[in-house]
């Protein structure tokens, strides 16, 4: 797991990518407090699968950006085919 900070709301979560399409995100209580979009989606009672929620769209982009620049390693070693940013 690697810490990734949302570029919009500054929530810091722990993220792990098993592939380019699969991301696991672990939320701390503080990150939940910070992410506006997450708060809006969370019902009064906490969901049992709360770790499945990836947060706001900005966080998804932030996680992807971290993976693209190598700050977040992809567990799956398959070469990337679709991300143009990786071909630098
Ligand atoms: Zn956010």
Does residue 83 fall inside a structural domain? no
Q: What's the gap in Å between 35 CA and the centre of ligand 1?
A: 5
Encode pLDDT of 46-81 as tens digits: 555 555 565 788 898 999 999 999 999 988 655 556
Does residue 82 fall inside a structural domain? no
First and final C-alpha spacing in the chain: 25
Quickly list DSSP for 34-59. Answer: H-HHHHHHS-SSPPTTGGG---SHHH
Quote the pTM value.
0.67
Total number of domains in the chain: 1
Short-list 46, 55, 47, CA closest to 26: 55
Q: Domain range for residue 43?
A: 2-77
The DSSP bridge partners found for residue 2 are 15
Does residue 84 fall inside a structural domain? no
Q: What is the pLDDT of residue 46?
A: 57
Instruction: Please state whether 86 falls in left (phi above 0), alpha (psi between -120 and 50) or beta.
Output: alpha
For ligand 1, an ion, list residues with CB under 5 A.
6, 8-9, 35, 56, 58-59
Q: What is the pLDDT of residue 86?
A: 55
Short-list 2, 22, 23, CA closest to 14: 2
Q: What's the gap in Å between 19 CA and the centre of ligand 1?
A: 22
Does residue 52 fall inside a structural domain? yes
């Amino acid at each position: 797991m690697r810490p990734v900070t949302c570029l919009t709301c500054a929530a810091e979560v722990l993220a792990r990518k098993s592939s380019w399409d699969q991301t696991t995100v672990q939320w701390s209580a503080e990150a939940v407090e910070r992410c506006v979009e997450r708060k809006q989606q969370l019902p009064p009672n906490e969901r049992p699968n709360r770790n499945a929620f990836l947060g706001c769209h900005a966080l998804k982009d932030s996680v992807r950006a971290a993976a693209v620049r190598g700050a977040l390693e992809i567990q799956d070693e398959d070469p990337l085919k679709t991300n143009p940013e990786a071909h630098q």
